[in-house]
């Protein structure tokens, strides 16, 4: 189970350049990929209901929420500003 979250999280990180939608697609793709490699068929290791709930929560998070989290944890880098400077 830990491997499912690790691989799915890695795939979400790879797709994060496409925004929140890319993160969710990457997470689901990592889940399907790991299930196929380990079982030979695509029975999900992390149920899609759980991924759907996480998707709704991710999409509904706003910049105000992100700002509040950064006030509590200032050591978290601002990836949005880092992406803007890379362009």
Q: Is residue 24 part of a domain?
A: yes
Q: Is residue 10 part of a domain?
A: yes
Q: Is residue 55 part of a domain?
A: yes
Residues 6+ apart with CB under 8 A from 79: 16
Average pLDDT score over the chain: 77
- Which residues span the domain enclosing 8? 2-61
Q: Is the alpha carbon torsion for 5, 18, 82, 70 positive or negative? A: negative
Counted domains in the chain: 1
Q: Is residue 83 part of a domain?
A: no
pLDDT tens figures, 32-52: 888 888 776 656 667 778 878
Q: Could you give the CA distance from residue 87 to residue 75 in angstroms, rounded to a whole number?
A: 23
Does position 9 have pLDDT exceeding 60, yes or no? Answer: yes
- Are the beta carbons of 27 and 11 closer than 8 angstroms? yes
Q: Is residue 86 part of a domain?
A: no
pLDDT for 34 equals 83
Q: Could you give the CA distance from residue 40 to residue 81 in angstroms, rounded to a whole number?
A: 41
Q: How many CB atoms lie within 10 A of CB 71?
A: 8
pLDDT for 82 equals 56
Q: Is residue 68 part of a domain?
A: no
Q: Is residue 71 part of a domain?
A: no
The residue assigned the tokens 């350049």 is 17
Tell whether pTM > 0.75: no
């Amino acid at each position: 189970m830990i491997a499912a979250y690790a691989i799915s999280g890695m795939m979400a990180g790879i797709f994060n350049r496409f925004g929140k939608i890319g993160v969710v697609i990457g997470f689901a793709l990592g889940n399907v990929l790991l299930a196929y490699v380990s079982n030979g068929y695509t029975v999900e290791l992390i149920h899609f209901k759980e991924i759907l709930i996480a998707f709704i929560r991710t999409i509904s998070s706003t910049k105000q929420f992100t700002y509040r989290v950064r006030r509590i944890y200032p050591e978290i880098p601002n990836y949005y500003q880092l992406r803007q400077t890379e362009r």
